[in-house]
Structure 1
Amino acid sequence: MSFNREYTEALDRLIAPCAIEDFIDSIWESRHLHVVREQKGERHRNLDDLISIDDIDELLTGTYAAGQRRWDSVRLGKDGELLPPDQFLSNRNSSFAQVDVERVLAHYRHGASIILNNIQEAHASVARLCNDVSRFFGVPVHANAYLTPPHAQGFPLHFDSHDVFLLQVAGEKHWNIYDAIILLANATHQRDTYDAPAAPPTRLHLKRGDVLYLPRGLLHEGLTTSEMSLHLTIGVHPYTWSDLLHDIVSALAQKDVDFRRSVAPSLVFVDEFHDRLERSLLALSARLADTSHARRVADRRLQEVRALRRGDHHGALSQAVRSRPVAAETVVQLVRGLDPVIQEMGERMTVSFASKTLVLPRVVGAQVAALCSGAPSCAAQLPPTLDEDGRLVLVQRLVHEGLLEVLRPTE
């Protein structure tokens, strides 16, 4: 099994020294993995530069407290239970509320954990990590932060309906991990409550820089010691076989009338209907077995996920303010975090990225492919199948549209 090196760097940062091939083959969706910071070695980047307590302070007291946000952007948990939102939010309507920072801090001082949800929307380094993990798995990825005071348990015993990488940023935390009651549980299974299994848990102690992978469905609970704890959860939302089959059937129903024919539930128990039911199921199942349908649906799903990713535009505004005209020798590169989708349609082609689609003449395909490869380049170095003026105009437009960024402006 081989992987694109550009896509594996973020995952390698989390699980090294475990090889990615070993992780996918024997750990992913099967069992937990505890990576101790000291095991990583010098060649693997640690997590020190990802986020800090000062960053969490700024997010809570600045970003999250500035105006109304989604009501569940901040949650508090104490003694294994979530606190009612009205204990720390104000001016709440159906979707948004104002975070009362004073009350949040008061609850923390009295033993409550602070949970900041979806911080990839507000923190550049975490956003980059989520984007890169998303590129590897091809699914949406989010990040939450959990700040827990000493001798506390913010969240009850629970399991997640998505796979999780726990990153211990500061302090330390004890974890009890139990066998899954429902293997690879989904969101529907979370509606029920479950007691801890009779078998004793696996007990782990996470220190700063450690990483813990938990497959969805695995029951777990975390408790702090005499130290506080700050950890991130990187949530990887699965696209399952049932999701794929559902999407294939939905796509086929748009084109194939047999998938739109009705099934009267009352006839299922009529003897004469059994043969017809069996014939229909066999015929429709045979069409599902055509792998071309699966490829088209999976590709469309991948494009939808790609479109959700935001590029890393840090510094782009300063560059735009100070920018000089892009010349033939101006070095440009694909904006970090973007994963454009290129499609050809007759004499035209489309380039889709970050919820935007550009329509270009197909004749520029070789140049666009070179520019989207991720390698630094300039108009003068692009394939000569387009004349010099055409190559320069193309680069200028792609910089203007936000697909490319200038690395080294010409003097």
Structure 2
Amino acid sequence: MTKRKLSGGEPAPAKESEAAEAQEQEEQEEQEEEFAPGPIDINPLQFLIAPTDLSKFSSEFWEKKPLHIPADEERKGFFDGLFNFDELARTSDALEAGVLLLMDQDPGPKGDALSLEDDVNDQMCREIGPLMFGRDVVAMRYIDGKRETISGDFADSDTLRSLHESAGATLQLHQPQRFINGLWRLVAALETQVGCLVGCNAYITPKNGQGLAPHHDDVELFVCQTQGSKQWRLYKPVDGFELPSKCSGDLPQEGLGEPLLEVMMKPGDVLYIPRGTVHQAEAQEEGSCHLTISTFQQWTWGSLAGQLIKTASASQGGSPACALPLELRKGLPLGFVFKHGFQAELQATDAAAAAAAARPDAASLASGLRALADQLDKAPVELLTSAVDDLSLDFLLHRIPPHPCQVPDQGEEPTLDDAIACRGKNLFRLVPFEAPEGGMSDDEEEDEEDDEEEEGDKKTALVKLVTCLGNSRFKHMISTDKDDEEDEEDDEEHDQDHAHGMCGIPGCDGSDSDDEGEEEDEEEEEAKDDKKVDKKAAEEEKPVAKGKKGGKKADEEEGKEEEGGDEPEIMEVDVEGEGDDDDDDEGEDGGDSDSEEEEDEEDEEELQGPIFPAIFAPALLEVLSSSLERPLPVKKLKVPGGDPEEQLRLALILHEYGFVSTVPADKVVAEPSPEPKGKAKGKGKAKEEAKEEVKKEEVKVESGKKGKKGGKEEVKEAAKEGEKGGKGGKAKEAAAAKEEAKEKVGGSPPAKKAKKGGK
């Protein structure tokens, strides 16, 4: 806020001071409101289509027919003004100024008047650079039945304004969720709900303008009007071909027929368009801004079938039920390619002859597919599991990370007396993991051999817990250009195709001296070597979590682990290789050599996460099923052997990687007593139950924490843990247990549940 300057140390008037405080309070309330989870975070599909019920929408409209949903107050408040030309120009200016500032160059008049705030920050500038035509922005117009695309280099605000106002071009911004927090929330929530990628485009159309020719898309569309108005006309699919797997391209107006639906879109309105439905739109007198939210691209049964065949083809050494049937593993006939194809079809005397030549081989393929179908019927789990896991990992790898308001704070590191809760539904996935050859160090291979001697084959099976929390919001749904790969192979020419200073390749910072770049490379290499040495020394002194570490208290944990003694079982496998922690920046800054660049590229294409022996899978699954409303006590983690140190170790690893939040012992809600069957029980029976409850609580011996209902074995383990932790004598714990039991008998209300908090 700009404050009035006062001369001679004159104190600010009381009214001005009060106004400043009121404005600060208002800004704080607005920020809290922005980060408070709302309908778009909890049920975004229902938010888009309200008041239509989601079940009705799914059965009557989804993939079947379009639906216009007029604005309600909540949706109008969210979309009205969410995106317009001013927002696009502000983003362009801020990114341009930010890039120049990061390059230590004079930003000029624009930079002097701008600050990198809100949703435009340094990280975005480094990963995106200035907006560029083609990758970020497209300018187009549709006049007299022809569409024209206007090309350019940098999409600065002056150029965008000229194209929009003077040339009458529609401006299309790709994936605006990278820049606008409200869209980030909506897209992230939709991906969590629908379970596949969700993209977005923003369109700014001048008055009476039309940017695109009639066409159909290969995605399910939700058109959301943010400013002005636009007339939409929708037509039936071309030649009755519904749910196509490819976009149509421009379609001639004369072949469309009569519209199925005509609607005028206004701010807050939503229009659902199934893929395959032909559509076109024209802005009205005041111009138009709208968003198209798209999903289900290549997300069909056919896509799954292709993935299943691919996964089954790669299956080796496993169960025959997971592999392709013998009919599909047989080789093609000799000279197969010479008998079929376009040339063979032209050489055939007529269509009947071509069909006769193709029929035997087509029958063989059909027989193989039927055998695969039969195998799928007999062993659905075996075939589907691997294919679905591959699809899910690709989805997790490319989806947008959740908005901060959609995941609770982690809190402090958990102790044995605390509970833990999974930080979000559908954000994490447990998958099988196969250790790559040569992926373990000598010491780790020796540990693995010892484990196999002690526990047989149990330690040979591995699982990996992966997440999208570390994904880049600023790269969401932006494909990597082939030029980038060529630039990595030839550093000298990369300046032509990269934003300066964005990719971390030597010389990209705008410096003129190659020697300086080489010196920086040497310094970085030496720093990396030193870091590896320090890391190796630290690993010899303490066990560490395997995979990519994302914790914020590694140093404190190191001290605790040094006191812990022997290495727990969780930590005995590191298939990511030595030095992985040095590359925790996801390869964003590039590398100093071609080999390192390739390694960074591989790291970017692999989800990071801790790796565990498969015997920990039940405990991990139980953690993934927990929530803030139903947290899981650390002492009840089902680790092999029930060792308290192992329980705490697992909880700390999950907390460090961001998988769980800590629920302090005093916030854990005790499970209510089971409801009595039939009528209310008599006082005498209640007293007997109270005595039994006190006896159970005396044995339990926990440090002030109300645990969930568990079996006798868990109670004994909890008692041992209480003695090891030195948290109090048995008499003191028994007294606390009695008080707790009295509260239960007295009918006092249960403790309040821990509130879900956002960042």
Q: Is the 8 A contact 1:379 1:388 kept in 2?
A: no
Deviations 1:322-357 (A, max 9, x none): x85554566765445752111367544321222223
For 2:160, the equivalent position in structure 1 comes to: 104
Which amino acid is the alignment partner of residue 156 of structure 1? Answer: A
Deviations 1:139-169 (A, max 9, x none): 2211111122332222222221211111112
In the alignment, is residue 184 of structure 1 matched against residue 184 of structure 2?
no
Deviations 1:80-110 (A, max 9, x none): 5343212xx2xxxxxxxx3232111122223
Which amino acid is the alignment partner of residue 83 of structure 1? Answer: T
For 2:428, the equivalent position in structure 1 comes to: 340
Any idea what SS the aligned residue of 1:356 has?
Answer: coil
Q: Is the 8 A contact 1:117 1:144 kept in 2?
A: yes
In the alignment, is residue 62 of structure 1 matched against residue 94 of structure 2?
yes
Which amino acid is the alignment partner of residue 431 of structure 2? Answer: Q
Which amino acid is the alignment partner of residue 352 of structure 1? Answer: V
Q: Which of 75, 82, 87 is 1:46 aligned to? A: 75
Deviations 1:102-125 (A, max 9, x none): 111122223322211012333343
Q: Which of 83, 86, 109 is 2:149 aligned to? A: 83
Any idea what SS the aligned residue of 1:281 has?
Answer: helix
Mapped partners of 2:180, 2:312: distance in 1: 41
Mapped partners of 1:108, 1:83: distance in 2: 13
Mapped partners of 1:188, 1:168: distance in 2: 25
Q: Which of 123, 126, 131 is 2:183 aligned to? A: 126
In the alignment, is residue 395 of structure 1 matched against residue 648 of structure 2?
no
Q: Which of 296, 309, 313 is 1:249 aligned to? A: 309
For 1:280, the equivalent position in structure 2 comes to: 364
Mapped partners of 1:128, 1:330: distance in 2: 30
For 1:19, the equivalent position in structure 2 comes to: 53
Mapped partners of 1:395, 1:228: distance in 2: 55
Mapped partners of 1:228, 1:330: distance in 2: 57
In the alignment, is residue 34 of structure 1 matched against residue 68 of structure 2?
yes
Which amino acid is the alignment partner of residue 60 of structure 2? Answer: S
Q: Is the 8 A contact 1:119 1:126 kept in 2?
A: yes
Q: 1:313 to 1:13 in 2, by over 3 A?
A: closer
Which amino acid is the alignment partner of residue 154 of structure 1? Answer: G
Mapped partners of 1:17, 1:190: distance in 2: 32
Mapped partners of 1:68, 1:176: distance in 2: 35
Mapped partners of 1:12, 1:201: distance in 2: 24
For 1:218, the equivalent position in structure 2 comes to: 277
Which amino acid is the alignment partner of residue 402 of structure 2? Answer: D
Q: 1:245 to 1:367 in 2, by over 3 A?
A: closer
Q: Which of 189, 195, 209 is 2:253 aligned to? A: 195
Moved more, 106-115 or 26-35: 106-115
| Cα offset, 1:213, TM superposition | 0.6
Q: Is the 8 A contact 1:330 1:406 kept in 2?
A: yes
Mapped partners of 1:192, 1:72: distance in 2: 21
Stretches of structure 1 that go unaligned for 5 or more consecutive residues are: 90-97
Aligned length: 388
Deviations 1:206-234 (A, max 9, x none): 11111111011211112222223221111
Which amino acid is the alignment partner of residue 251 of structure 1? Answer: T
Q: Is the 8 A contact 1:312 1:336 kept in 2?
A: no
For 1:166, the equivalent position in structure 2 comes to: 223
For 1:94, the equivalent position in structure 2 comes to: none
Q: Is the 8 A contact 1:171 1:227 kept in 2?
A: yes
| Cα offset, 1:397, TM superposition | 2.0
In the alignment, is residue 239 of structure 1 matched against residue 327 of structure 2?
no
Q: 1:395 to 1:6 in 2, by over 3 A?
A: farther
Mapped partners of 1:106, 1:208: distance in 2: 25
Any idea what SS the aligned residue of 2:159 has?
Answer: helix
Mapped partners of 1:333, 1:59: distance in 2: 37
Q: Is the 8 A contact 2:205 2:283 kept in 1?
A: yes
Mapped partners of 1:342, 1:393: distance in 2: 18
For 1:297, the equivalent position in structure 2 comes to: 387
In the alignment, is residue 404 of structure 1 matched against residue 660 of structure 2?
yes
Q: Is the 8 A contact 2:216 2:249 kept in 1?
A: no
For 2:735, the equivalent position in structure 1 comes to: none
Q: Which of 331, 353, 377 is 2:467 aligned to? A: 353
| Cα offset, 1:394, TM superposition | 2.5
Any idea what SS the aligned residue of 2:285 has?
Answer: coil
Q: Which of 182, 194, 197 is 1:140 aligned to? A: 197
In the alignment, is residue 259 of structure 1 matched against residue 328 of structure 2?
yes
Q: Is the 8 A contact 1:311 1:335 kept in 2?
A: no
Moved more, 302-311 or 382-391: 382-391
Mapped partners of 1:380, 1:167: distance in 2: 44
For 1:310, the equivalent position in structure 2 comes to: 400
Q: 1:279 to 1:223 in 2, by over 3 A?
A: closer
Mapped partners of 2:219, 2:60: distance in 1: 18
Whose helix proportion is higher, 1 or 2? 2
Give TM-score scaled by structure 2 length.
0.45
Deviations 1:356-387 (A, max 9, x none): 23212445445433432361276745635345
Q: 1:113 to 1:274 in 2, by over 3 A?
A: closer
Q: 1:122 to 1:366 in 2, by over 3 A?
A: farther
Mapped partners of 1:208, 1:146: distance in 2: 14
CA RMSD of aligned residues (A): 3.8
Mapped partners of 1:20, 1:163: distance in 2: 15
| Cα offset, 1:29, TM superposition | 1.4
Q: 1:200 to 1:140 in 2, by over 3 A?
A: closer
Moved more, 398-407 or 132-141: 398-407
Q: Is the 8 A contact 1:7 1:136 kept in 2?
A: no
Q: 1:373 to 1:267 in 2, by over 3 A?
A: same
Deviations 1:257-303 (A, max 9, x none): 64351241455669997785366235302222132334542342133
Which amino acid is the alignment partner of residue 340 of structure 1? Answer: F
Which amino acid is the alignment partner of residue 314 of structure 1? Answer: P
Mapped partners of 1:192, 1:49: distance in 2: 32
Q: Is the 8 A contact 1:164 1:234 kept in 2?
A: yes
Q: 1:77 to 1:336 in 2, by over 3 A?
A: farther
Q: Which of 190, 203, 206 is 1:149 aligned to? A: 206
Whose strand proportion is higher, 1 or 2? 1
Q: Is the 8 A contact 2:207 2:283 kept in 1?
A: yes
Give TM-score scaled by structure 1 length.
0.79
Which amino acid is the alignment partner of residue 307 of structure 1? Answer: L
Mapped partners of 1:55, 1:388: distance in 2: 54
For 1:95, the equivalent position in structure 2 comes to: none
Moved more, 263-272 or 182-191: 263-272
Mapped partners of 1:331, 1:384: distance in 2: 10
Q: Is the 8 A contact 2:419 2:633 kept in 1?
A: no
For 1:230, the equivalent position in structure 2 comes to: 289
